[in-house]
Structure 1
Amino acid sequence: MSEFDKIVDKKVLSYHSVAGGDINKAYQVKTEQDMYFIKMNTISNLDMFIQEKKGIEAIAACHVIGTPHILQMGTTYQHAYLLMDYIERGKPIASYWDVFAQELACMHSSFVGDQFGFSSDNYIGSTPQSNPFCGSWVTFFKEYRLRPMLVRNEENLSRSDRQRIIHIMEHLDELLIEPEHPSLVHGDLWSGNVMTGPDGKAWLIDPACYYGDAEVDLAMTELFGGFPPSFYTSYRQYGCLRAGYEKRKYVYNLYHLLNHLYLFGYGYYGSVIHCIEKIEGSW
Protein backbone atom coordinates (compact mmCIF):
# COMPACT_ATOMS: atom_id res chain seq x y z
CA MET A 1 0.00 0.00 0.00
CA SER A 2 1.41 3.40 -1.01
CA GLU A 3 1.52 6.51 1.13
CA PHE A 4 -1.34 7.96 -0.95
CA ASP A 5 -3.49 4.85 -0.41
CA LYS A 6 -3.13 5.31 3.34
CA ILE A 7 -4.02 9.00 3.20
CA VAL A 8 -7.21 8.63 1.15
CA ASP A 9 -8.01 5.20 2.64
CA LYS A 10 -8.79 3.90 -0.85
CA LYS A 11 -6.92 2.19 -3.64
CA VAL A 12 -5.16 4.83 -5.68
CA LEU A 13 -5.31 4.31 -9.44
CA SER A 14 -2.89 7.09 -10.36
CA TYR A 15 -1.21 10.21 -9.11
CA HIS A 16 1.01 12.93 -10.49
CA SER A 17 2.76 16.05 -9.27
CA VAL A 18 1.04 19.41 -9.80
CA ALA A 19 1.95 22.99 -9.00
CA GLY A 20 1.82 23.58 -5.25
CA GLY A 21 3.88 26.72 -4.72
CA ASP A 22 7.46 27.12 -3.55
CA ILE A 23 7.01 25.49 -0.16
CA ASN A 24 5.00 22.28 -0.49
CA LYS A 25 4.88 19.34 -2.84
CA ALA A 26 1.41 18.78 -4.31
CA TYR A 27 -0.27 15.90 -6.09
CA GLN A 28 -3.45 15.09 -7.96
CA VAL A 29 -4.57 11.65 -6.78
CA LYS A 30 -7.22 9.56 -8.53
CA THR A 31 -9.22 6.65 -7.11
CA GLU A 32 -12.12 4.76 -8.70
CA GLN A 33 -14.65 7.09 -7.07
CA ASP A 34 -12.93 10.45 -6.53
CA MET A 35 -10.15 12.87 -7.35
CA TYR A 36 -8.09 14.45 -4.56
CA PHE A 37 -5.54 17.19 -4.07
CA ILE A 38 -2.81 16.44 -1.52
CA LYS A 39 -0.20 18.87 -0.24
CA MET A 40 2.85 17.43 1.52
CA ASN A 41 5.74 18.71 3.55
CA THR A 42 8.03 17.39 6.25
CA ILE A 43 6.39 16.12 9.43
CA SER A 44 7.88 19.05 11.36
CA ASN A 45 5.80 21.42 9.21
CA LEU A 46 2.39 19.96 10.12
CA ASP A 47 1.46 23.21 11.85
CA MET A 48 1.59 25.00 8.50
CA PHE A 49 -1.28 22.81 7.32
CA ILE A 50 -3.16 23.24 10.60
CA GLN A 51 -3.04 27.01 10.18
CA GLU A 52 -3.91 26.85 6.48
CA LYS A 53 -7.02 24.84 7.40
CA LYS A 54 -8.03 27.48 9.95
CA GLY A 55 -7.64 30.22 7.36
CA ILE A 56 -9.68 28.41 4.73
CA GLU A 57 -12.39 27.70 7.30
CA ALA A 58 -12.48 31.37 8.33
CA ILE A 59 -12.99 32.46 4.71
CA ALA A 60 -15.60 29.75 4.13
CA ALA A 61 -17.49 30.86 7.25
CA CYS A 62 -18.19 34.22 5.55
CA HIS A 63 -20.30 32.34 2.95
CA VAL A 64 -19.41 34.76 0.16
CA ILE A 65 -16.43 33.34 -1.75
CA GLY A 66 -15.32 29.89 -2.82
CA THR A 67 -12.60 27.89 -1.06
CA PRO A 68 -11.36 24.30 -1.32
CA HIS A 69 -13.06 21.67 0.83
CA ILE A 70 -10.54 20.23 3.27
CA LEU A 71 -11.12 16.58 4.13
CA GLN A 72 -8.37 15.92 6.67
CA MET A 73 -4.78 16.53 7.60
CA GLY A 74 -2.21 14.58 9.53
CA THR A 75 1.06 12.74 9.19
CA THR A 76 2.30 9.51 7.68
CA TYR A 77 5.59 7.93 8.65
CA GLN A 78 7.18 10.17 6.00
CA HIS A 79 5.22 13.40 5.62
CA ALA A 80 2.72 15.89 6.97
CA TYR A 81 -0.19 16.24 4.56
CA LEU A 82 -3.33 18.22 3.80
CA LEU A 83 -6.05 16.33 1.91
CA MET A 84 -8.63 18.24 -0.14
CA ASP A 85 -11.17 17.59 -2.84
CA TYR A 86 -9.63 18.23 -6.23
CA ILE A 87 -11.07 21.40 -7.76
CA GLU A 88 -11.80 21.24 -11.45
CA ARG A 89 -11.07 24.63 -12.91
CA GLY A 90 -14.10 26.11 -14.66
CA LYS A 91 -14.44 28.63 -17.47
CA PRO A 92 -14.46 32.16 -16.02
CA ILE A 93 -17.87 33.82 -16.09
CA ALA A 94 -18.19 37.03 -18.13
CA SER A 95 -18.34 39.20 -14.99
CA TYR A 96 -15.48 37.33 -13.27
CA TRP A 97 -13.54 40.34 -11.97
CA ASP A 98 -16.59 42.37 -10.99
CA VAL A 99 -18.04 39.45 -9.02
CA PHE A 100 -14.68 38.73 -7.41
CA ALA A 101 -14.40 42.37 -6.30
CA GLN A 102 -17.92 42.26 -4.86
CA GLU A 103 -17.35 38.99 -3.01
CA LEU A 104 -13.99 40.09 -1.64
CA ALA A 105 -15.54 43.36 -0.42
CA CYS A 106 -18.31 41.35 1.27
CA MET A 107 -15.71 39.18 2.99
CA HIS A 108 -13.85 42.29 4.12
CA SER A 109 -17.11 43.75 5.46
CA SER A 110 -18.06 40.67 7.50
CA PHE A 111 -18.19 41.29 11.24
CA VAL A 112 -15.16 39.81 13.03
CA GLY A 113 -15.15 41.77 16.27
CA ASP A 114 -13.13 44.81 17.32
CA GLN A 115 -9.63 43.34 17.69
CA PHE A 116 -6.82 42.99 15.16
CA GLY A 117 -4.98 39.66 15.10
CA PHE A 118 -6.26 36.11 14.83
CA SER A 119 -7.15 33.07 16.90
CA SER A 120 -3.67 31.62 16.35
CA ASP A 121 -0.30 32.46 14.84
CA ASN A 122 0.25 31.25 11.29
CA TYR A 123 2.62 31.65 8.35
CA ILE A 124 3.27 33.99 5.46
CA GLY A 125 4.83 31.56 3.03
CA SER A 126 6.99 29.50 5.38
CA THR A 127 7.75 32.46 7.65
CA PRO A 128 6.03 32.46 11.07
CA GLN A 129 3.47 35.25 11.42
CA SER A 130 2.40 36.40 14.91
CA ASN A 131 -1.24 37.34 15.42
CA PRO A 132 -1.83 38.41 19.04
CA PHE A 133 -5.02 40.38 19.50
CA CYS A 134 -4.50 44.14 19.60
CA GLY A 135 -6.87 47.09 19.78
CA SER A 136 -4.82 49.31 17.44
CA TRP A 137 -4.15 48.48 13.80
CA VAL A 138 -1.13 50.80 13.61
CA THR A 139 0.41 49.14 16.66
CA PHE A 140 -0.36 45.67 15.34
CA PHE A 141 1.22 46.34 11.96
CA LYS A 142 4.29 47.94 13.50
CA GLU A 143 4.97 45.33 16.19
CA TYR A 144 3.77 42.11 14.56
CA ARG A 145 4.41 42.72 10.87
CA LEU A 146 7.24 45.18 10.21
CA ARG A 147 9.38 44.71 13.32
CA PRO A 148 9.76 40.90 13.03
CA MET A 149 10.69 41.25 9.34
CA LEU A 150 13.28 43.88 10.18
CA VAL A 151 14.86 41.50 12.72
CA ARG A 152 14.83 38.58 10.27
CA ASN A 153 16.59 40.65 7.62
CA GLU A 154 19.37 41.98 9.81
CA GLU A 155 22.02 40.35 7.62
CA ASN A 156 20.28 41.26 4.36
CA LEU A 157 20.09 45.01 4.98
CA SER A 158 22.75 47.60 5.68
CA ARG A 159 22.69 49.69 8.85
CA SER A 160 21.38 52.69 6.90
CA ASP A 161 18.66 50.53 5.28
CA ARG A 162 17.54 49.37 8.70
CA GLN A 163 17.53 52.92 10.03
CA ARG A 164 15.26 54.00 7.18
CA ILE A 165 12.78 51.25 8.06
CA ILE A 166 12.99 52.11 11.76
CA HIS A 167 12.19 55.73 10.86
CA ILE A 168 9.12 54.53 8.94
CA MET A 169 8.02 52.47 11.93
CA GLU A 170 8.50 55.39 14.32
CA HIS A 171 6.20 57.51 12.18
CA LEU A 172 3.73 54.81 11.23
CA ASP A 173 0.82 56.68 12.82
CA GLU A 174 1.44 59.45 10.26
CA LEU A 175 1.40 56.99 7.36
CA LEU A 176 -1.44 54.62 8.28
CA ILE A 177 -4.94 55.27 9.58
CA GLU A 178 -7.06 53.18 11.88
CA PRO A 179 -9.82 51.41 9.88
CA GLU A 180 -13.42 51.70 11.01
CA HIS A 181 -13.38 47.99 11.87
CA PRO A 182 -11.10 44.95 11.49
CA SER A 183 -11.62 42.84 8.39
CA LEU A 184 -10.89 39.21 7.72
CA VAL A 185 -8.04 39.39 5.21
CA HIS A 186 -6.62 36.61 3.08
CA GLY A 187 -3.17 37.89 3.95
CA ASP A 188 -1.29 36.61 0.87
CA LEU A 189 -3.55 37.74 -1.94
CA TRP A 190 -1.53 37.65 -5.13
CA SER A 191 -2.72 36.18 -8.41
CA GLY A 192 -1.19 32.77 -7.68
CA ASN A 193 -3.55 32.34 -4.73
CA VAL A 194 -6.70 32.99 -6.76
CA MET A 195 -8.11 30.28 -9.01
CA THR A 196 -11.23 29.82 -11.10
CA GLY A 197 -13.57 27.35 -9.42
CA PRO A 198 -16.02 24.99 -11.09
CA ASP A 199 -18.68 27.73 -10.84
CA GLY A 200 -16.57 30.01 -13.04
CA LYS A 201 -15.93 32.45 -10.17
CA ALA A 202 -12.78 33.30 -8.24
CA TRP A 203 -11.87 30.99 -5.35
CA LEU A 204 -9.25 31.72 -2.71
CA ILE A 205 -6.47 29.28 -1.81
CA ASP A 206 -3.34 29.25 0.42
CA PRO A 207 -4.43 31.96 2.90
CA ALA A 208 -2.42 33.61 5.68
CA CYS A 209 -5.54 34.96 7.36
CA TYR A 210 -5.89 37.45 10.18
CA TYR A 211 -8.11 40.38 11.17
CA GLY A 212 -6.55 43.53 9.76
CA ASP A 213 -7.12 46.44 7.42
CA ALA A 214 -8.80 45.31 4.20
CA GLU A 215 -6.37 47.48 2.28
CA VAL A 216 -3.53 45.00 2.90
CA ASP A 217 -5.21 42.52 0.56
CA LEU A 218 -5.68 45.10 -2.18
CA ALA A 219 -2.09 46.26 -1.83
CA MET A 220 -0.84 42.69 -2.16
CA THR A 221 -2.82 42.20 -5.39
CA GLU A 222 -0.79 45.01 -6.94
CA LEU A 223 2.60 43.67 -5.92
CA PHE A 224 3.21 40.95 -8.51
CA GLY A 225 1.51 42.04 -11.70
CA GLY A 226 -1.86 43.14 -10.38
CA PHE A 227 -5.41 42.38 -11.46
CA PRO A 228 -7.31 44.06 -14.35
CA PRO A 229 -8.41 47.69 -13.80
CA SER A 230 -12.06 46.58 -13.74
CA PHE A 231 -11.42 44.68 -10.50
CA TYR A 232 -10.18 47.79 -8.69
CA THR A 233 -12.93 49.97 -10.15
CA SER A 234 -15.56 47.53 -8.91
CA TYR A 235 -13.95 47.06 -5.50
CA ARG A 236 -13.84 50.82 -4.87
CA GLN A 237 -17.62 50.97 -5.21
CA TYR A 238 -18.01 49.12 -1.90
CA GLY A 239 -16.18 51.68 0.22
CA CYS A 240 -13.38 49.46 1.53
CA LEU A 241 -10.65 51.72 0.13
CA ARG A 242 -10.22 55.16 1.64
CA ALA A 243 -8.47 58.32 0.51
CA GLY A 244 -4.72 57.91 0.71
CA TYR A 245 -4.64 54.21 -0.16
CA GLU A 246 -2.21 54.86 -3.04
CA LYS A 247 0.39 55.95 -0.46
CA ARG A 248 -0.42 53.38 2.24
CA LYS A 249 -0.12 50.43 -0.12
CA TYR A 250 3.67 50.78 -0.17
CA VAL A 251 3.80 50.47 3.63
CA TYR A 252 1.72 47.30 3.47
CA ASN A 253 3.77 45.81 0.65
CA LEU A 254 7.04 46.56 2.43
CA TYR A 255 6.10 43.68 4.74
CA HIS A 256 5.76 41.22 1.85
CA LEU A 257 8.90 42.42 0.09
CA LEU A 258 10.92 42.05 3.28
CA ASN A 259 9.54 38.54 3.61
CA HIS A 260 10.59 37.72 0.06
CA LEU A 261 14.04 39.16 0.76
CA TYR A 262 14.25 36.91 3.83
CA LEU A 263 13.01 33.79 2.02
CA PHE A 264 14.55 34.17 -1.44
CA GLY A 265 17.51 36.46 -1.02
CA TYR A 266 19.18 39.43 -2.67
CA GLY A 267 17.04 39.39 -5.80
CA TYR A 268 14.39 41.27 -3.83
CA TYR A 269 16.73 43.87 -2.32
CA GLY A 270 16.10 46.42 -5.07
CA SER A 271 12.34 46.06 -4.68
CA VAL A 272 12.64 46.66 -0.92
CA ILE A 273 14.67 49.84 -1.45
CA HIS A 274 12.27 51.08 -4.15
CA CYS A 275 9.36 50.53 -1.76
CA ILE A 276 11.16 52.43 1.01
CA GLU A 277 11.77 55.31 -1.39
CA LYS A 278 8.08 55.39 -2.31
CA ILE A 279 7.12 55.58 1.37
CA GLU A 280 9.66 58.31 2.09
CA GLY A 281 8.39 60.26 -0.91
CA SER A 282 4.83 60.19 0.43
CA TRP A 283 5.65 62.38 3.46
Structure 2
Amino acid sequence: MTPTVDPAILKALSLDKATTTISSHGGSGFVETFKISAMVDEEKKLFFVKTGGRKSDEMFTGEHASLNAIHSTVPLSLSQVLCSRYPEFRWIFSSRPIFLDLNPRDGNTGSGISLAKKLAKLHSTPVPIPEGYREPQFGFPVTTCCGETPQDNGFMRSWAEFFGERRLRSIVKKAELNNGANSELREAVEEGVVRTVVPRLLGDEHLKGAGIMGMFGGFGAVFWKEYHEDKPKDEPAEEWADRCLLYELYHHLNHYAMFGGGYKGGAMSIMRKLLKKYGKEA
Protein backbone atom coordinates (compact mmCIF):
# COMPACT_ATOMS: atom_id res chain seq x y z
CA MET A 1 0.00 0.00 0.00
CA THR A 2 1.42 3.37 -1.04
CA PRO A 3 1.65 5.81 1.90
CA THR A 4 -0.32 9.03 1.60
CA VAL A 5 1.27 12.45 1.76
CA ASP A 6 0.43 14.58 4.78
CA PRO A 7 -2.13 17.22 3.72
CA ALA A 8 -0.05 19.86 5.52
CA ILE A 9 2.87 19.09 3.19
CA LEU A 10 0.67 19.22 0.10
CA LYS A 11 -0.64 22.60 1.19
CA ALA A 12 2.77 24.03 2.08
CA LEU A 13 4.30 23.06 -1.26
CA SER A 14 1.16 23.64 -3.35
CA LEU A 15 1.25 20.06 -4.64
CA ASP A 16 -1.52 18.05 -6.26
CA LYS A 17 -2.43 14.97 -4.22
CA ALA A 18 -3.20 13.03 -7.41
CA THR A 19 0.32 13.38 -8.79
CA THR A 20 2.33 13.29 -5.55
CA THR A 21 3.86 10.23 -3.89
CA ILE A 22 6.04 9.73 -0.84
CA SER A 23 8.44 6.90 -0.01
CA SER A 24 10.91 6.08 2.74
CA HIS A 25 14.40 7.41 2.06
CA GLY A 26 16.90 6.31 4.69
CA GLY A 27 16.67 7.42 8.30
CA SER A 28 18.34 6.95 11.67
CA GLY A 29 17.56 6.09 15.24
CA PHE A 30 16.21 9.56 16.00
CA VAL A 31 14.59 10.81 12.76
CA GLU A 32 12.74 9.48 9.72
CA THR A 33 13.43 10.65 6.18
CA PHE A 34 11.33 10.47 3.02
CA LYS A 35 11.42 11.39 -0.64
CA ILE A 36 8.47 13.13 -2.27
CA SER A 37 7.94 12.91 -6.02
CA ALA A 38 5.48 15.34 -7.59
CA MET A 39 4.50 16.79 -10.95
CA VAL A 40 4.74 20.59 -11.00
CA ASP A 41 3.92 22.38 -14.26
CA GLU A 42 4.32 19.08 -16.12
CA GLU A 43 7.81 18.61 -14.70
CA LYS A 44 8.83 16.01 -12.12
CA LYS A 45 10.08 17.55 -8.88
CA LEU A 46 11.69 15.84 -5.91
CA PHE A 47 11.70 16.92 -2.27
CA PHE A 48 13.45 15.58 0.80
CA VAL A 49 11.41 15.37 4.00
CA LYS A 50 12.79 14.86 7.48
CA THR A 51 10.50 14.16 10.43
CA GLY A 52 10.95 13.76 14.15
CA GLY A 53 9.11 14.10 17.44
CA ARG A 54 9.27 16.95 19.89
CA LYS A 55 12.73 15.86 21.06
CA SER A 56 13.97 16.74 17.57
CA ASP A 57 12.92 20.38 17.86
CA GLU A 58 16.36 21.66 18.87
CA MET A 59 18.06 19.59 16.18
CA PHE A 60 15.70 20.75 13.45
CA THR A 61 15.90 24.38 14.55
CA GLY A 62 19.67 24.22 14.18
CA GLU A 63 19.44 22.51 10.80
CA HIS A 64 16.94 25.08 9.57
CA ALA A 65 19.24 27.95 10.53
CA SER A 66 22.50 26.39 9.37
CA LEU A 67 21.24 25.05 6.03
CA ASN A 68 19.70 28.37 5.12
CA ALA A 69 22.84 30.22 6.28
CA ILE A 70 24.97 28.07 3.98
CA HIS A 71 22.47 28.44 1.15
CA SER A 72 22.45 32.24 1.49
CA THR A 73 26.26 32.37 1.50
CA VAL A 74 26.92 29.91 -1.34
CA PRO A 75 23.53 29.32 -3.01
CA LEU A 76 24.63 26.45 -5.24
CA SER A 77 26.21 24.45 -2.45
CA LEU A 78 23.20 23.24 -0.51
CA SER A 79 19.45 22.93 -0.58
CA GLN A 80 17.25 25.52 1.06
CA VAL A 81 14.74 24.66 3.75
CA LEU A 82 11.36 25.33 2.16
CA CYS A 83 9.15 25.07 5.22
CA SER A 84 9.27 23.83 8.78
CA ARG A 85 7.63 23.60 12.19
CA TYR A 86 4.45 21.74 11.48
CA PRO A 87 2.63 20.46 14.55
CA GLU A 88 4.23 17.08 13.78
CA PHE A 89 7.64 18.79 13.46
CA ARG A 90 8.04 17.99 9.77
CA TRP A 91 10.78 19.65 7.80
CA ILE A 92 10.92 19.89 4.03
CA PHE A 93 14.00 20.50 1.92
CA SER A 94 14.27 21.30 -1.77
CA SER A 95 15.47 18.70 -4.21
CA ARG A 96 19.04 20.02 -4.55
CA PRO A 97 20.91 18.57 -1.57
CA ILE A 98 24.67 18.65 -1.59
CA PHE A 99 25.18 15.10 -0.35
CA LEU A 100 22.48 13.32 -2.36
CA ASP A 101 21.57 14.10 -5.95
CA LEU A 102 17.90 13.17 -6.31
CA ASN A 103 17.87 14.27 -9.95
CA PRO A 104 20.85 12.58 -11.67
CA ARG A 105 21.41 13.76 -15.22
CA ASP A 106 21.56 11.30 -18.13
CA GLY A 107 21.12 8.38 -15.78
CA ASN A 108 24.60 8.81 -14.28
CA THR A 109 25.18 8.74 -10.55
CA GLY A 110 27.97 11.31 -10.80
CA SER A 111 31.71 11.18 -10.17
CA GLY A 112 31.82 13.33 -7.06
CA ILE A 113 33.51 16.17 -8.96
CA SER A 114 30.54 18.50 -8.61
CA LEU A 115 30.42 17.87 -4.87
CA ALA A 116 34.14 18.57 -4.59
CA LYS A 117 33.78 21.88 -6.40
CA LYS A 118 30.84 22.93 -4.24
CA LEU A 119 32.61 22.07 -1.00
CA ALA A 120 35.76 23.87 -2.13
CA LYS A 121 33.69 26.97 -2.89
CA LEU A 122 31.94 26.73 0.47
CA HIS A 123 35.22 26.29 2.36
CA SER A 124 36.77 29.26 0.52
CA THR A 125 33.98 31.74 1.23
CA PRO A 126 34.42 34.11 4.22
CA VAL A 127 31.59 34.11 6.71
CA PRO A 128 29.89 37.35 7.76
CA ILE A 129 30.66 39.06 11.05
CA PRO A 130 27.95 38.04 13.56
CA GLU A 131 25.42 40.60 14.67
CA GLY A 132 26.67 42.49 17.70
CA TYR A 133 30.36 41.89 16.96
CA ARG A 134 32.95 44.05 15.24
CA GLU A 135 35.28 41.23 14.22
CA PRO A 136 34.81 37.74 12.75
CA GLN A 137 34.01 35.07 15.31
CA PHE A 138 33.97 31.29 15.41
CA GLY A 139 30.58 29.82 16.25
CA PHE A 140 26.95 30.05 15.22
CA PRO A 141 23.92 31.93 16.62
CA VAL A 142 21.94 28.79 17.50
CA THR A 143 22.61 25.31 18.84
CA THR A 144 23.22 22.66 16.18
CA CYS A 145 23.43 18.90 16.55
CA CYS A 146 25.96 16.30 15.46
CA GLY A 147 23.83 13.19 15.30
CA GLU A 148 21.63 13.61 18.35
CA THR A 149 24.29 15.52 20.31
CA PRO A 150 23.53 19.23 20.87
CA GLN A 151 26.58 21.41 20.19
CA ASP A 152 27.35 24.62 22.04
CA ASN A 153 28.21 27.13 19.31
CA GLY A 154 28.78 30.17 21.51
CA PHE A 155 31.06 32.62 19.71
CA MET A 156 34.78 32.70 20.47
CA ARG A 157 37.54 34.77 18.87
CA SER A 158 40.05 31.95 18.46
CA TRP A 159 39.40 28.80 16.41
CA ALA A 160 41.78 26.75 18.58
CA GLU A 161 39.95 27.84 21.74
CA PHE A 162 36.57 27.17 20.14
CA PHE A 163 37.49 23.67 18.99
CA GLY A 164 39.16 22.79 22.28
CA GLU A 165 36.40 24.14 24.52
CA ARG A 166 33.16 23.92 22.51
CA ARG A 167 33.95 20.63 20.82
CA LEU A 168 36.52 18.43 22.57
CA ARG A 169 35.98 19.33 26.23
CA SER A 170 32.23 19.54 25.69
CA ILE A 171 31.93 16.10 24.09
CA VAL A 172 34.04 14.45 26.79
CA LYS A 173 31.58 15.74 29.38
CA LYS A 174 28.72 14.30 27.32
CA ALA A 175 30.54 10.98 26.94
CA GLU A 176 31.07 10.67 30.68
CA LEU A 177 27.48 11.65 31.36
CA ASN A 178 26.24 8.84 29.12
CA ASN A 179 28.88 6.17 29.79
CA GLY A 180 30.29 6.94 33.22
CA ALA A 181 33.43 8.71 34.43
CA ASN A 182 36.57 7.85 32.47
CA SER A 183 39.74 9.49 33.74
CA GLU A 184 41.91 7.99 30.98
CA LEU A 185 39.79 9.53 28.24
CA ARG A 186 39.28 12.85 30.02
CA GLU A 187 42.98 13.34 30.79
CA ALA A 188 44.02 12.42 27.25
CA VAL A 189 41.64 15.03 25.86
CA GLU A 190 41.95 17.83 28.39
CA GLU A 191 45.55 17.52 29.58
CA GLY A 192 46.95 16.21 26.33
CA VAL A 193 45.18 17.09 23.11
CA VAL A 194 43.50 20.36 24.12
CA ARG A 195 46.60 21.77 25.81
CA THR A 196 49.27 20.66 23.35
CA VAL A 197 47.94 19.38 20.03
CA VAL A 198 45.13 21.85 19.38
CA PRO A 199 47.19 25.06 19.78
CA ARG A 200 50.04 23.45 17.82
CA LEU A 201 47.94 22.38 14.82
CA LEU A 202 45.07 24.85 14.64
CA GLY A 203 45.32 28.48 13.65
CA ASP A 204 42.38 30.66 12.72
CA GLU A 205 42.96 29.81 9.06
CA HIS A 206 42.67 26.07 9.65
CA LEU A 207 38.96 25.70 10.33
CA LYS A 208 38.21 24.06 6.97
CA GLY A 209 39.10 20.47 7.85
CA ALA A 210 37.84 17.16 6.50
CA GLY A 211 36.19 16.27 9.81
CA ILE A 212 34.16 13.10 9.58
CA MET A 213 34.85 12.69 5.85
CA GLY A 214 37.48 9.98 6.40
CA MET A 215 35.85 8.13 9.29
CA PHE A 216 33.63 5.82 7.25
CA GLY A 217 35.61 5.41 4.05
CA GLY A 218 35.62 8.98 2.81
CA PHE A 219 36.13 10.15 -0.75
CA GLY A 220 38.51 8.92 -3.41
CA ALA A 221 41.49 10.48 -5.13
CA VAL A 222 39.37 12.09 -7.88
CA PHE A 223 37.34 14.00 -5.30
CA TRP A 224 40.37 15.33 -3.46
CA LYS A 225 42.15 16.27 -6.68
CA GLU A 226 39.18 18.38 -7.76
CA TYR A 227 38.73 19.84 -4.28
CA HIS A 228 42.36 20.93 -3.89
CA GLU A 229 42.47 22.45 -7.37
CA ASP A 230 40.02 25.06 -6.07
CA LYS A 231 40.94 24.96 -2.36
CA PRO A 232 44.65 24.22 -1.84
CA LYS A 233 45.75 22.74 1.46
CA ASP A 234 46.30 25.37 4.14
CA GLU A 235 49.90 25.82 5.22
CA PRO A 236 51.74 24.04 6.57
CA ALA A 237 50.46 21.59 3.97
CA GLU A 238 52.44 18.70 5.44
CA GLU A 239 50.27 18.90 8.58
CA TRP A 240 46.97 18.81 6.67
CA ALA A 241 46.40 15.09 7.28
CA ASP A 242 47.05 15.53 11.01
CA ARG A 243 44.58 18.41 11.20
CA CYS A 244 41.99 16.20 9.50
CA LEU A 245 42.74 13.47 12.05
CA LEU A 246 42.27 15.95 14.89
CA TYR A 247 38.87 16.94 13.50
CA GLU A 248 37.97 13.27 13.07
CA LEU A 249 38.76 12.74 16.76
CA TYR A 250 35.71 14.78 17.68
CA HIS A 251 33.45 12.42 15.74
CA HIS A 252 34.94 9.33 17.38
CA LEU A 253 34.29 10.95 20.76
CA ASN A 254 30.78 11.89 19.71
CA HIS A 255 30.04 8.34 18.56
CA TYR A 256 31.34 7.09 21.89
CA ALA A 257 29.07 9.57 23.66
CA MET A 258 26.06 8.38 21.65
CA PHE A 259 26.73 4.65 21.33
CA GLY A 260 29.53 3.71 23.74
CA GLY A 261 31.50 0.58 22.90
CA GLY A 262 34.57 0.50 20.70
CA TYR A 263 34.47 4.13 19.63
CA LYS A 264 36.49 5.00 22.71
CA GLY A 265 39.30 2.81 21.38
CA GLY A 266 39.29 4.67 18.08
CA ALA A 267 39.47 8.00 19.90
CA MET A 268 42.34 6.85 22.11
CA SER A 269 44.25 5.56 19.09
CA ILE A 270 43.98 8.93 17.34
CA MET A 271 45.06 10.81 20.46
CA ARG A 272 48.09 8.58 21.02
CA LYS A 273 49.18 9.16 17.44
CA LEU A 274 48.79 12.94 17.66
CA LEU A 275 50.34 13.21 21.12
CA LYS A 276 53.33 11.13 20.06
CA LYS A 277 53.98 13.61 17.26
CA TYR A 278 52.95 16.92 18.83
CA GLY A 279 52.93 16.44 22.59
CA LYS A 280 53.26 13.91 25.34
CA GLU A 281 52.19 10.37 24.50
CA ALA A 282 48.94 9.36 26.21
| TM-score tier after normalising by the smaller chain length | 0.7 to 0.9
Unpaired runs of 5+ residues, structure 2, are: 97-101, 130-135
CA distance in 1: counterparts of 2:124 and 2:115, whole angstroms = 14
Q: Following the alignment from structure 1 to structure 2, what is the Cα–Cα distance between the partners of residues 163 and 58? A: 36
1:126 and 2:141 aligned:
no
Unaligned 5+ runs, structure 1: 181-211
Read off the aligned partner of 2:121 and give its amino acid letter. C
Higher helix content, 1 or 2: 2
For 1:213, give the aligned amino acid. Answer: L
* Structure number having the greater strand percentage: 1
Alignment TM-score, normalising by the size of structure 1? 0.76
Going from structure 1 to structure 2, the CA distance change for 1:240 and 1:61 (only over 3 Å counts) comes to farther
- Say which structure, 1 or 2, has more relative contact order (CA 8 Å, 6+ apart): 1
**In the alignment, is residue 24 of structure 1 matched against residue 31 of structure 2?**
yes
For residue 266 of structure 1, report the CA deviation from its aligned partner.
0.6
- State the alpha-carbon separation in 2 of the partners of residues 247 and 118 from structure 1: 25
The match for 1:105 among 120, 142, 167 is: 120
Structure 1 range deviating more: 167-176 or 225-234: 167-176
Contact 2:58 2:143 in 1 (8 A): no
Identity of aligned residues (%): 24
What's the Cα RMSD here? 2.7
| Aligned-pair CA distance for 1:68 | 2.4
Corresponding position of 1:282: 277
2:218 to 226, 251, 267: 226
1:74-116: per-residue Cα shift (whole Å, max 9, x none)? 132xx21102334533048798444433332221121214211
CA contact (8 A) 1:105 1:240 kept: no
- Structure 1 residues 250, 125: closer, same or farther in 2, change over 3 A? same
Q: TM-score, normalised by structure 2?
A: 0.77
Distance in 2, Cα, partners of 1:258 & 1:130:
15
Which residue among 224, 229, 232 is the counterpart of 1:239? 232
Q: Distance in 2 between matches of 1:81 and 1:103?
A: 27
Distance in 2 between residues matched to 1:232 and 1:140, nearest whole Å: 27
CA distance, structure 1, for counterparts of residue 66 and residue 257 of structure 2: 23
Deviation readout 1:42-61 (Å, 9 max, x if unpaired): 12322322211212112212
Describe the SS at the equivalent of 1:89: coil
Query: What secondary structure sits across from 2:216 in the alignment?
Result: coil
Whether 1:171 aligns to 2:171 is no
Indicate conservation of the 8 Å contact 2:160/2:199, yes or no. no
How far did 1:242 drift? 2.7
CA contact (8 A) 2:59 2:150 kept: no
In structure 2, C-alpha distance between the alignment counterparts of 1:36 and 1:80, rounded to whole Å: 16
Give the secondary structure class of the aligned counterpart of 1:266: coil
